[in-house]
Structure 1
Amino acid sequence: MADLKRRSTANLVIMGSGVLIGSLMAADVIDEYLLIIAPLVLGSGRRLFAGGTHASLRLIECVTSRTGVVMATYERDEPVTGA
């Protein structure tokens, strides 16, 4: 993935599970996160960012739809640690 990122002239968009996101975070190849948050609390399930990886993020955009869905865009504020 890191090699693909280096060779690419365009942005790469990756959609996946928390496991995939965790692996990419640990490899320090994610520059921007788009979190789509629905107004629904399930009360159980897996954590999106499980594991020991720490990433400090900075909010760069936040949009709320008429239905209450929030689309928050974050970028890395500092290098990933604990990978």
Structure 2
Amino acid sequence: MSEFPSLTHALAEGLVDVLWFVESCEDEQMDPDDAVRVLEDAAHLMGRLSPDQRGELLDLIDAMAVEETDPERREFLEDFPEDFGLVDDPA
């Protein structure tokens, strides 16, 4: 059994796993409209995080990306902050 250093870390890992699954589903596996709704709802939720919570999640996502061995999942993690509105769009 794997232990996480914190509940926040465990929940972040679970959230990323779910969103990675939804993002990578084929149309036959999940209705595209449902997938978009799930991804948009997650982005909305993350948009409501406090600056401290956002920073903590960004640090966790960054650490997860560094440790990821699957190139496609690593790219997903690297793009995660911008794709889910955790960082401001570059000006």
- With the shorter chain as reference, the TM-score category is 0.3 to 0.5
- Greater percentage in helix: 2
Q: Which has the higher contact order (CA 8 A, sep 6+)?
A: 1
What is the TM-score normalised by the length of structure 1?
Answer: 0.33
- Greater percentage in strand: 1
